[in-house]
Amino acid sequence: MRRIVFLLSALLLIPVGISFGITQTEFGDNVFVFVQSTIRDSDGTLVAYLESTKFSDLNLPALKSFLDYEASNGNDPIITINGEKFQVIRRVQTQEFSSDGLVASNVLFDNVDGKPIMLARFAHDGYTTVAGDTIESMWTFVRPVS
């Protein structure tokens, strides 16, 4: 069954104070996750830039399955650091906003058998958007190669 990956940016009109358990990935863990998000207006002008290794939700079992599937394409580089081999998997997702609002998190989902499965959520203080703004999120995953 073909799997499709998509990125959703959670649009909230009113920020809600919710306490999340934060997971920070560290290089050398089973997988290191890093996300960079660039928001631009309809003229291409930079509105916001966010990056983090901290996530409010990180579904490691689903993420491992996703990375195994993505790596099966064979196009992701293997690098060596201090004699250890790591695979670098990088995926970019782009979304255009059709309405005004506040974005309080960027979420990476995997669509498995028609059901969306959350892989990671990058919760942040948020940024406002207007119709025509775009977000480009680059998700970088580094995992050891056995």
pLDDT greater than 50 at residue 9: no
pLDDT bucket at 21, cuts 50 / 70 / 90: low
Q: What values do phi and psi take at 70, rounded to 5?
A: -60, -40
Spans of all domains in the chain: 4-14+21-144
Using one digit for the tens of pLDDT, what is the confidence trace for 95-113?
999 999 888 778 888 988 8
Cα pseudo-dihedral 106, 110, 113, 114, rounded to 10 = 30
| Reported pTM | 0.75
Q: Exposed, middle or buried: residue 118 (CB in 10 Å: 0-12, 13-18, 19+)?
A: middle
